[in-house]
Structure 1
Amino acid sequence: MTGARPPRRAACLAALLAAAAVPGLAAAATLKATLIAPQDDPRLERSRVERAYLGHPTGPASDGVGVALEEGRFELDAAGHEVALDTAEAASLEAARAAAQKAEQAGAAVLLTDLSAAWTLAVADAVKLPVLNIGAADDRLRQQDCRARLYHLLPSERMRTDALAQLLVSRKWSKVLLLAGQGAADQARAAAAQASLKRYGLQLVANKPYKLSADPRERDLANPLLLTAGSTYDVVWVVDSDGEFARTLPYRTVLPRPVVGDAGLVALGWHAQFERYGAPQVARRFAKAAKRPMTANDWAAWMAGKALVALATSAPPGKAVAAAAWTQALPGLSLDGSKGTPLGFRPWDGQLRQTLLLTDGQGVVAQAPVEGLLHPTNTLDTLGADGPEKLCKAAR
């Protein structure tokens, strides 16, 4: 039938008209939120963005949040609410803390952070508001350094390593050569990789450090042929937070074996070439608005925006809502991330449960949890720290 409205749109329109007809419901109630991001973000330095390393951001988080709020505008109008998003930039940990306190004093009910782990903790400790982390994948934020009102949209490092380990098991690539950088970040991430190998019964045949150096005497410390010699392995797992060494590794190993980790096959929360569950439409809307492909970091920011919309529309139409009510509603949200299953926050660490995508940069090769994997309650909890192994002591 021509001219028929989609059922959801018709229902929203009816709710909007009903709200306009009832006195006292015309004025929208506002959910105030503030996004805190780094000033002169080194991750967005031009040469890094041009290289477009898998798993690294290529644009500001505000792009993803803005797309989600625009998508939810009709739903917000129908519910008699609106979301007001402010942004603040911080040049230091102290500045991030001050920005959070200023936002709280200005009436913000939720904070969004695209910051490092240390800065994120400073923000969470400075206020009594829920904080949505969209920039730090560090496992310590979900484990020993967790906070009761800290929630994570970006998948943790352990979730990503578990996803890769599951794929290796499904492919019967059981012998793993691990190459890791010597910095603190790479060592922490290498520890997560080793925990995942142990969890899924994979064999670590060798753990070798590499070092990128301009010193000619240290050139061999980053030589792929030397690093991958002397061992028998099914796959090479590279840990490189910077991205420069990892991108040179595929097709340069001594044995003709696949590379995973930070090059070759990478586990991410999102890839623009994902082709199921409405994902292409999401990627196209984002690309149209931001003039660039949607990355995993953009997806996390987009999900934070969707969480704000869901929070706002969960309240009674047109009525002012206390900040505490938003806080209480957040843990029970059910969100659509265009990954084929409803997503919600884990009660023990505040992490958003989600499917992960395994990609070579050209397309999505597989999804995790892999098919056939079992769990007593929710297979999504096979990614990352499960409830029984939690280290988080914060009461939620």
Structure 2
Amino acid sequence: MSRITPRLLRGAALLATLCLAGGASAATTVRFAHLELDADARYDETHLAFRGLALPLGRPFAGAEVALREARFVGQAVGAEFALERVAGADAKALVASIDKLNKEGVRYFLIDAPGAVVADVAKAVRGRELLLFNVSAPDDALRQAQCQPNLLHTLPNDAMRMDALAQYLVSKKWRNVLMLEGPRPEDKLLADAFDRAAKRFGLKLVERRPFVLSNDPRQRDQGNVALLTAGADHDVVFVADSDGEFARSVPYRTVRPRPVVGSEGLTAAAWSWAWERHGAPQLNSRLEKHAGRKMADPDWAAWMAVKAVVEAVVRTQNAPFGTVAKYLKGDEIAIDGFKGNRLGFRPWDNQLRQPLLLATHNAVIERAPIAGFLHPTNNMDTLGFDQRDSRCAF
């Protein structure tokens, strides 16, 4: 895997030099807009109360704000200031209208925090505009496949990446026989299908897919009984596909056999964890917690990363026009530090940010994927998610 190299360290010295040389020039403002829905069920207080491993901890706007604060000094190097505004709308149509207005005013970089269906509609509607749209909270594989758009970039890892990371870990532990418990929601099926794909890719055996239902209806009580759901099948580990998280939190320690639980509870694959303690992560976690009054989660990191990526491209291109910045941002030369120990950049075939993933519990990072031994001809991080040969994205 590629690591942070002396090149990145030299970059810090370069920025300091540029600050001295260019500090006196008149600053231009690079503007960001953060788009979100007025009512987004993913952030409902009752929903967040579960504190499930698969759930956000709050709106990711806080991550973008932290990144903007970090960028203030860096922008002086090239005479750039950075500004961020927050825009909310009722639906995709309202968000598109906001983009139209702001784009005419000179805003070129938009972070979108919305469910996958809304992201797909917005990205399709603004295709061909002079702007970049960053998906910071929708993990849907379809957005990186059939629904991909040339101006839609993804800093959040998709389901395929996360499930590949889990599969690699299970193979490394020789826990090859997996019992899946699958929820009734469409999002649960997406998770289940993504893990099924990963299992086939890395040689795991999915011994059975058993549906669960979490309900107060006495007639469905057995369908939510963990002991009954985990009885009978010969398995090494239990995978839970539960996008809501309410059922998943009840699975560990209630299985018939003493088996580890992974997926939506127990051990999960994440873009970020507040328990990550390497590569400057404690400082970033501390800044987010101080700013937002809560811990950092995946969407927060993705929003922080989107702003950071643009800032890096603006600085490296000497605050060039949008076309030059966008080309550099999506090119091979960019080296973004995501505080996870690797040089990060966007895959050219689907605009997904290459990144290692953290295999974490509620309070510890157990491993980082790609797992040692899982190799790729050009970049080991491309063992996570859709490689170029697997891509159905056609820009």
The residue that corresponds to 1:106 in the other structure is 105
1:259 aligns with 2:258: no
Q: How does 1:33-44 map to 2 (within 5 A)?
A: 33-44=32-43
Task: Give the 3-state SS of the residue equivalent to 2:330 in structure 1.
Answer: helix
Closer, same or farther: CA 345–9 of 1 in aligned 2, 3 Å = closer
1:10, distance to aligned residue in structure 2 (A): 7.1
Q: Which structure has the larger Rg?
A: 1
Q: 1:282 is matched with which residue?
A: 284
Letter in 2 for 1:252: R
Cα deviation digits, residues 52-100 of structure 1 (max 9, x gap): 2113111222110111111121111122112222211011121122222
Alignment of structure 1 residues 168-183 onto 2, 5 Å: 168-183=170-185
Post-superposition CA distance 1:309-364 (Å, at most 9, x none): 113212326xxx43333322220232100111110000111000111011111100
> Contact 2:75 / 2:311 at 8 angstroms: preserved in 1?
yes
Task: Give the C-alpha shift of residue 48 in structure 1.
Answer: 2.5
Q: CA deviation at 1:14?
A: 4.5
SS in 1 for 2:371: coil
CA distance in structure 2 between the aligned counterparts of 1:184 and 1:299, rounded to whole angstroms: 25
Give the letter aligned to residue 346 of structure 2: F
Task: Give 1:340's aligned amino acid.
Answer: G
Q: 1:271 aligns with which of 261, 267, 273?
A: 273
TM-score (norm 2): 0.93
Secondary structure at the aligned position of 1:188 is classed as: helix
Greater mean alpha carbon deviation, residues 104-113 or residues 43-52: 43-52
Equivalent-residue separation in structure 2 for 1:256 and 1:199 (angstroms): 26
* Match status 1:215 vs 2:217: yes
The RMSD of aligned alpha carbons is 1.7
The list of structure 1 runs, each at least 4 consecutive aligned residues, that deviate by more than 4 angstroms after superposition, is 6-14
CA contact (8 A) 2:60 2:299 kept: yes
- Percent identity of paired positions between Structure 1 and Structure 2: 45
Report if the CA contact (8 A) 1:114-1:134 is conserved: yes
Give 3-state SS (helix, strand or coil) of 1:176's partner: strand
> Shift in Å at residue 36 of structure 1?
0.4
Change (3 A) 1:209 1:73: same
Alignment match, 2:149: 147
Report the equivalent of 1:15: 18
Cα distance, 1:347–1:8 mapped onto 2, change above 3 Å: closer
Aligned equivalents of 2:16, 2:196: Cα separation in 1: 53
* Secondary structure in structure 2 of the residue aligned to 1:310: helix
Contact 1:55 1:297 in 2 (8 A): no
Partners of 2:193 and 2:10 lie apart in 1 by 50
Greater shift, 179-188 or 374-383, is seen at 179-188
Match of 1:90 in 2: 89
Once residues 11 and 106 of structure 2 are traced to their aligned partners in structure 1, the CA distance between those partners, rounded to angstroms, is 32
Aligned to 1:3: none
TM-score (norm 1): 0.92
326 and 20 in structure 1: CA distance in 2 versus 1, 3 angstrom threshold: closer
Map 1:37-52; keep pairs closer than 5 Å.
Answer: 37-52=36-51
Residue aligned with 2:49, SS: helix
Give the aligned partner of residue 301 of structure 2: 299
Matched residues in 1 for 2:303 and 2:318: separation?
26
Question: Residues 111 and 20 (structure 1 numbering): CA distance in 2 closer, same or farther, change over 3 Å?
Answer: closer
Letter in 2 for 1:204: L
Moved more, 251-260 or 53-62: 53-62
Structure 1, unmatched stretches of 5+, are: 1-5
Contact kept, 8 Å, 1:37 with 1:89, in 2: the verdict is yes
Contact 1:37 1:90 in 2 (8 A): yes
Q: Out of 155, 159, 163, which is 2:165 matched to?
A: 163
Q: 1:10 & 1:233 partners in 2: Cα distance?
A: 53
